[in-house]
Amino acid sequence: MDRIEAKAGEMSSKHLVDPELLAALETLPSFTFSSEVLPLVRQGLDDMLAALPAPEGLQVDVTERRIATPQGHDIGVLIYTPSGTGVRPAVLHMHGGGYILGRARMNDISNRMLAIDAQCVIISVDYRLAPETPHPGSLEDCYAALKWVHDNAEALGVDRRRIAVSGESAGGGLAAALALLARDRGEVPLIFQRLIYPMIDDRTGTGAHPHPYTGEFVWTAASNRFGWSSLLGRAPGGEGVSAYAATARAENLAGLPAAYIGVGALDLFLEESIEYARRLTRAGVPTELHVYPGAYHAFDAAPEARVTQAAQRDALHALLRALHPEID
C-alpha cells in the first residue's frame, strides 16, 4: 500500500503527480502540526542542518552578521558574495517554513549557486518565527534587513538601485509583503519580487469549496490553518487581516515592483498565486506567472526532475532580466 493516500471520501491527486516527482514525494515528511509537534519538527530540522557537510567547489564568500533592529533586538543574516570584484545587485532572501519553522541555512547551497548564476549578493534573513513572534514581527525583521542592505550598500559591494526580494512558500509571502511595505514606506526602492510558491492568502483552506486536486501533499489545508493561526494570533480567514500579513488582502497593488510567480498545479497555493498574478497585471505591474503541471508544494526537492529544472531555469532567467537588464 502506498504511504501517501487521500483521506477517506476525498479524491486523490496522486495520479496527477509528475512521475519524476513521485520518488521524492515518498521521502518528504508529512506532519499534522500542533503546539506539541512543532518543537519536535524544529529540533529535527536543526539536527539535519547541523549534520550537513560544508559545500565545496562553489566560489562564494559566505559571512554571518547580526543586525540591530529598531525594535531593540538583533537578527542574523547570511551574506553570499560571488568571488571577484565590482558592485553587484542584491537579493534579500527569506526562507520558507509556513511562518513557524526554518532557518536561513536551509537554502545554503541554493543561495550559493544563485549568487554565482545571477552574479548578485544574496542576503538571507533569519527572521523570528511564529507563534512566539506573531505578525508583524517577522516582516519587521525582514524590513530591518532590507533597510540595512540599502543603507550599507557600498560596504557590501551592492548597487542600491538594483535590490530585489525573493522567497519560497512563507518566504515568498514575506517577499511579497516586503514589496508592499517598501512601496508604502518609500525608503527602499525595489526592482523585483521573486515569489516561489508564495504563501500569501490566509483564506486558503478555510472556504467551503476547496480545490479538489491541490494541497494533498507536503503542505495541506490543515497545516496552512495552523501556520496562519500562529502568525496572526487568531483563526485565519476572518475580517480585519492586515495586507502586510497576507498580501492577497491588499486592495491596491499599483506601483509594486515587477514580479515572478512560480507554483505547482497541485500546490495548495495554486489559486492564490494565479489570482495574485491576475491582480498584479490589472494594476499595471509587469508579472510573469508559471504553473508547473504535476508539481506539488516544494517539488524542487526532486532536483533531477525535468519540471524542477524548468522551474529553476524560469526563475533564474526572470531574475537575470531584472537584475542585469543590460545583458541580452
Report the amino acid identity of residue 216.
E
Closest CA to 187 of 155, 160, 159: 160
CB-CB contact of 32 with 232 (8 Å): no
CA distances from 243 to 26, 128, 179, 199, 248 (A): 36, 19, 11, 13, 7
Catalytic residue, candidates 13, 124, 166, 169 = 169
Name the strands in the sheet holding 192-196, side by side, starting at the edge strand that comes first in the sequence.
60-68, 74-82, 121-126, 88-94, 158-168, 192-196, 258-264, 287-292
**Size of the chain in residues:** 328
- How far apart (Å, rounded) are the C-alpha atoms in residues 246 and 228? 9
Q: What is the pLDDT of residues 227-274, one digit of tens each?
A: 999 999 999 999 999 999 999 999 999 999 999 999 999 999 999 999
Q: What is the pLDDT of residues 192-208, one digit of tens each?
A: 999 999 999 999 988 88
- How far apart (Å, rounded) are the C-alpha atoms in residues 44 and 93? 23
- Rg of the Cα atoms in the chain: 19
Q: What is the pLDDT of residues 268-319, one digit of tens each?
A: 999 999 999 999 999 999 999 999 999 999 999 999 999 999 999 999 999 9
CB-CB contact of 175 with 294 (8 Å): no
2-6, 82-86, 209-213: range with lowest mean pLDDT: 2-6
The answer to whether residue 60 scores a pLDDT higher than 70 is yes
The answer to whether residue 212 scores a pLDDT higher than 60 is yes
The answer to whether residue 76 scores a pLDDT higher than 90 is yes
Give the DSSP H or E segment for 79. strand 74-82
Q: Residue 162 pairs with which residues in a beta bridge? A: none
Position 9 scores a pLDDT of: 47
* Structural domains in the chain, sorted by start: 14-323 (3.40.50.1820)
- How far apart (Å, rounded) are the C-alpha atoms in residues 260 and 282? 15
- Per the annotation, the verdict on 46 as an active-site residue is no
Q: What cell was used for 11? A: 479524491
Please enumerate in sequence order all residues whose Cβ is within 8 A of that of 168, keeping only pairs 6 or more positions apart, or say none. Answer: 95, 96, 107, 196, 197, 198, 298
As a whole number, mean pLDDT of residues 67-76 equals 96
- Per the annotation, the verdict on 169 as an active-site residue is yes
Catalytic residue, candidates 93, 135, 150, 297 = 297
The one-character DSSP state at 107 is G
Catalytic residue, candidates 126, 201, 202, 267 = 267
| pTM summary value | 0.95
Phi-psi region of 296 (alpha: psi -120 to 50; beta: other; left: phi over 0): beta
- How far apart (Å, rounded) are the C-alpha atoms in residues 276 and 143? 22
